[in-house]
Chains A and B, each alone.
Chain A
């Protein structure tokens, strides 16, 4: 479990790299932390790993306080750092064995965990090769294996699939999903919005050290774009202005071949709109919810944070 309240870090001068971050990630949940480069993601992760002391606020990770019990925090957390950080002259096998020892695993546990992870990530054949000879993707996978070697209850992963080919990335995503189902608490920092959308139960967007949004994807969509939007598309030009739309329908876009509207209670209102369209012999092709992706949420949030506007 990861909990933090008002977590803040000030560097030299008056620069707040992280300012008042509050998060709560329960076992079996994945939180994706999104933000530009330099937004404060890495500093947040480092505070949660007890590498950096917070200037203000508190955090508990895996049940331990990051300031009072840094040793315990580190022992129970698996970290995939921004840079893979491999020792290039060590073989994959030696590398995992070394970190297994660092985390206090006995010889049998080290052997079985290393074997499992190397096989799972498709590195078994390269286990006796030096890490310096690995491809970028292999290095990333080995680094991820290192983060998992002690089977930690909390995982902090910085760009877990960066530099990986689509198949390897899928493999990693499956492993992360498996870890979630085995009640691990996971925080991912990523720029890959599709990945965050596919994996995360919660999403937090950080900008200049402050959390702008934090919630489930549906919540984020509602907060950013308001009520759900629907769209009716027509096969040929249709004059939608003649329609007598029920009360509470807000038309957001109208063209000769489409009509977009927002409703607070779609279950009650949408059948009526459909009836109205059929009654007016509208050449209806489709009637569906307008897809809002995390990418739109993110870009709109960031644009507004910078004082601009976002046009989808």
Chain B
């Protein structure tokens, strides 16, 4: 272990020395680190004075955590450029081959570069934040609590880890520094959005929620590191390929995987669709388990906690039951208000959103959305139980008939998204990262077009034409 760490540190140390000897990196960084806290301090003070002159009721103390976050972010975004060229820069300068020819392992090289990529910007960020805090301490405002400061320091750390992990993945995969820099927006833009989300959380005032952001970002970073390590290929770094998009090749890879060599629809179902489902056994088991947990956890949470928030006196319960009864008439209008094709479209769109969210998060966000959907079912059943209806009967009449098809479709689609994420972070020496992505996408579309779409179509028809009838039939027995 010590030997492994020494090798990683050796790579990081050399890189760090190289960075600090380059005035083109150090000079602007130092300028940013030492100037920005002063500018930020003065600007925020003036902004507060200006707003309050017009009754804005803004207090400088409220702005401080947000400004700290921004001050920490600036050096990170700047040094991203250094992380982006970690591998591709060495490739262009021709220094990578002696390093790759050495007995250093892939993990030594990768983690060494990652380490220095994280430590350098963090060092600058923390210096900058520290300077700002000194300035704040001299003003007559409430100093942020130690808890809040810890959270912000951790958030800054998680941003650094996320940005550098993503930058290193780009650096390994890009063929030129120019391409790597162009791809930087794929890192900066999402992190900027993340920063905005965190800002809302800070202003909202619920500090504890920030822990979710920290954990989520660190998890995503771990997946990115895993992705980078899984697809780190010395051979690729020595290649002479140029940055061109080969659409024909992309189409060929996708089509070959999607068709699976089938020549008829029947054969396609046999060799492509069912084969894809067969290979999804583990993800299927995971998402089914998650669904069951989500339904039950949500059901019990609502049953146990809702009474604390909502008044559920006997009179109120009677009122609610009567209200549900009166609203049953709405079910008669469902065919007009939400026709089956529209419902099918909404459900298909939701499934595609799972895919899109999964694509940008190695499957995790897709699975999160899926879990939320199942939690909603559990929540509704829990609420029904509180009102005095039979949750089992509601489930049997209101969910099961169309859910048999719709939930199966959603489970299949989510398992596909999860599998895609796993494929992306699994080592594969046979294919490039782009090819793996296309193959995983083709696998998902096999299941989506072959099974999910037909199942959602059947579910929409049942939900619009059969489910309302069943609900009305069982309502007197609820």
Contact = CB atoms under 8 A, between A and B. Distances in A.
A288 to B, nearest CB: 46
B21 A89 contact: yes
Interface string B94-122: 11111111111100000000000000000
A89 B102 contact: no
A152 to B, nearest CB: 11
Contacts of A136: none
A87 B14 contact: yes
Contacts of B99: 85, 102
Given A87-B14, A89-B21, A98-B10, A51 B100 contact: yes
A104 B105 CA distance: 13
Nearest to B104: A102
B10 A102 contact: yes
A101 B98 contact: no
A296 interface: no
A53 B94 contact: no
Interface in A59-81: 71-72, 74-75, 77, 79, 81
B238 A52 contact: yes
B97 A51 contact: yes
B234 A51 contact: yes
A89 B102 CA distance: 20
Contacts of B97: 51, 79, 81-83, 85
B313 interface: no
B235 A99 contact: no
Contacts of B57: none
Interface in B265-300: none
Contact of B101 (A51, A84, A86, A101): A51
Interface residues of B, number: 24
Given A51-B235, A52-B238, A85 B103 contact: no
| Chain B CB within 10 Å, residue with most, of A52, A82, A87 | A87
Nearest to A143: B98
Contacts of B429: 53
A46 B238 contact: yes
B395 to A, nearest CB: 54
Contacts of B102: 74, 99, 102-103
A8 interface: no
A89 B18 contact: yes
Interface string A125-158: 0000000000000000001001000000000000
B17 to A, nearest CB: 8
Contacts of B140: none
B4 to A, nearest CB: 13
B22 interface: yes
A268 to B, nearest CB: 53
Nearest to B246: A12
Interface of B: 7, 10, 14, 17-18, 21-22, 94-105, 234-235, 238, 241, 429
Interface of A: 12, 46, 49, 51-53, 71-72, 74-75, 77, 79, 81-87, 89-90, 98-99, 101-104, 143, 146
30 contacts: A51-B100, A51-B101, A52-B234, A52-B238, A74-B101, A74-B103, A75-B103, A77-B101, A79-B97, A79-B98, A79-B101, A81-B94, A81-B98, A84-B94, A85-B96, A85-B98, A85-B99, A87-B14, A87-B18, A89-B18, A89-B21, A90-B14, A90-B17, A98-B14, A102-B10, A102-B99, A102-B102, A103-B102, A103-B103, A143-B98
